[in-house]
Amino acid sequence: MRKQGDIDKLDRQILSLLMRDAKMPYTDIAKRLFVSGGTVHVRMRKLEQLGVVKNANLMVDYSKLGYDVTAFIGVFLDKSSMYHDVIEKLKNIPEIVGAHYTTGNYAIFARLICKDTNHLRYVLSEKIQSIQGIQRTETFISLEESIDRPINILEEEEELEGVLEE
């Protein structure tokens, strides 16, 4: 388990830059933060070992690949004890790109990406609703994603003028 003391200002600044542009070379980060490229490399390795950095992902505009529907589903379970069995089956559905165990009305809240509404209907009826333990689902189709950004992990006094702007 990571302790807050393991992460310092420089670590947060490095992470902040990479969260905005994961392809930014370590040498560019080093120049912006006035440290060596080796320092950035060592810090990133430390953050990976601590489990702070899990992996790097490529952001893709799915609509340009023919996947035009993003939907969210709330899943009601027959019994909350069925969560682990159900989530293991949901992991096998490639259209589900995220799922959360939640409080409130739904036991599971998931995000799906589908080609069109017919594809969504197929995934819901043939793949998701046929899973034993799922009582019912509620579907929300996203019309537009208005905000998609990383959280600001820097404290106000840690922000460096011009470091995060290009």
Q: Give the Cα separation of 106 and 75 in Å (integer).
A: 5
pTM to 2 decimals?
Answer: 0.81
Domains within the chain, CATH numbers bracketed: 4-57 (1.10.10.10), 62-142 (3.30.70.920)
Q: Give the Cα separation of 75 and 80 in Å (integer).
A: 11
DSSP 80: G
Q: What average pLDDT does range 130-157 have in this prediction? A: 91
pLDDT (tens digit per residue) in 8-64: 999 999 999 999 999 999 999 999 999 999 999 999 999 999 999 998 888 899 999
Cα maximum dimension of the chain? 56
pLDDT (tens digit per residue) in 58-115: 889 999 999 999 999 999 999 999 999 999 999 999 999 999 999 999 999 999 999 9
